[in-house]
Amino acid sequence: MNPYSFSFLKARVSIGQVLAAYGLDSHLKAKNDQLSGPCPLHGGDNPTAFRVHLQRGLWRCFTACGGGDSVELIRRIHRCSYAEAAHHLFRLAEGAPVNITRHAPASSGSASVFKPFTRSIALDPRVHFLQNIKKISPDTALRFEAGTTRSTPFLKNTAAVRLHDLQGNPLGYCGRLLLADQIARFGKWRFPKFFPKTHVLYNAHRAKPYLNMGIVIVECPWAAMRLSQVGCPNTVALLGTQLFEDQIAWLSKAPAVLLLLDGDHAGRDATSRIARALQSLTTVYAHYLPDCKEPEDLSDESLIRILDRYPVYF
């Protein structure tokens, strides 16, 4: 039996084991032999977007990522070829630890290749959601290229924000939905198709000049903007609660990191998991927010009091 044949490997490594090995099952709910929840690949929060049929060994994201078997799942995680996917599955079958690294897409014509959108879109920074709910000033929204637009259907009825890779190259925009009925159907966030969230830390290019002072890690762009307003420009956002290899490599260059994730079960679980992943590479501090609170829910004074307790604020 060829140890690298997909039939052999899929018989040894179930799709559930693949999800668990990469920490992608923590927010999925089990019912009979199926899992469902927000898509852990593109980091959405639509609670019904991602489904897994354990017995059949199949998965599907109904929002952006497509679907397939455990081989396609590995390919989406690593953005790799079929041959490379076989090696990753073989390592899992042998009990080796996973290692997420950047790979070039299998072919330039692949449907799963992300295509950056580099053009700048004019956004109106004066948004009720930003100023009155997230307490983000129009000046801050303008500086972070956030706001609303009617010119782009993809960003309609959202508070949009521009995204960049770790080097500061523009990738496009994501949008936080504003209408309650759309949020109920699709989740809060809308990301470009096949957006490579595993290789992005929001605001990393602005925080890089302060890397040697330490880094604050939050979940979403709004928290990064609010912390910048109180004098903490060295903040990056995960765009979710998962941490991957490229992100770890960038964060390991900081002498210390402060985890300031949301005060819910997902945020607390992610704080413990991320602290374990980083603790051998840098000094890690963790601050747990009150129940159901996000950093941007707090007053400026409260944020400053928290930051003053850790050596990552100046």
> In this predicted structure, what is the pLDDT of residue 269?
86
Per-residue pLDDT tens digits for 53-87: 999 999 999 877 889 999 999 988 888 888 888 88
Query: Bridge partners of 237?
Result: 202, 218
> In this predicted structure, what is the pLDDT of residue 120?
95
Query: Over 50: is that where the pLDDT of 103 sits?
Result: no
Query: Over 80: is that where the pLDDT of 97 sits?
Result: no
The residue extents of the domains of the chain are 6-93, 128-195, 204-307
Q: What is the largest CA-CA distance in the chain?
A: 65
CATH architecture of 204-307: 3-Layer(aba) Sandwich (3.40)
Query: Over 90: is that where the pLDDT of 197 sits?
Result: no
Rounded to whole angstroms, what are the CA distances from 299 to 154, 162, 289?
A: 32, 25, 13
> In this predicted structure, what is the pLDDT of residue 314?
67
Q: Which of 265, 271, 260 is nearest to 297 (CA)?
A: 260
Per-residue pLDDT tens digits for 11-49: 888 898 888 887 787 778 888 889 998 888 887 678 888
Under 8 Å between Cβ of 233 and 206: yes
Q: Which residue has the higher pLDDT, 13 or 202?
A: 202
- Calculate ∠ Cα 205-222-65, nearest 5°: 75
Alpha-carbon gap, residue 312 to 254, rounded angstroms: 10
Per-residue pLDDT tens digits for 253-293: 999 999 999 999 888 988 998 999 899 999 999 999 999 99
Confidence at 96, pLDDT banded by 50, 70, 90: low
The model's pTM: 0.71
Phi-psi region of 187 (alpha: psi -120 to 50; beta: other; left: phi over 0): left
Domains 6-93 and 204-307 share a fold: no
Q: Which residue has the higher pLDDT, 170 or 182?
A: 170
Instruction: Fold for 6-93, please state it.
Output: DNA Primase; Chain A (3.90.580)
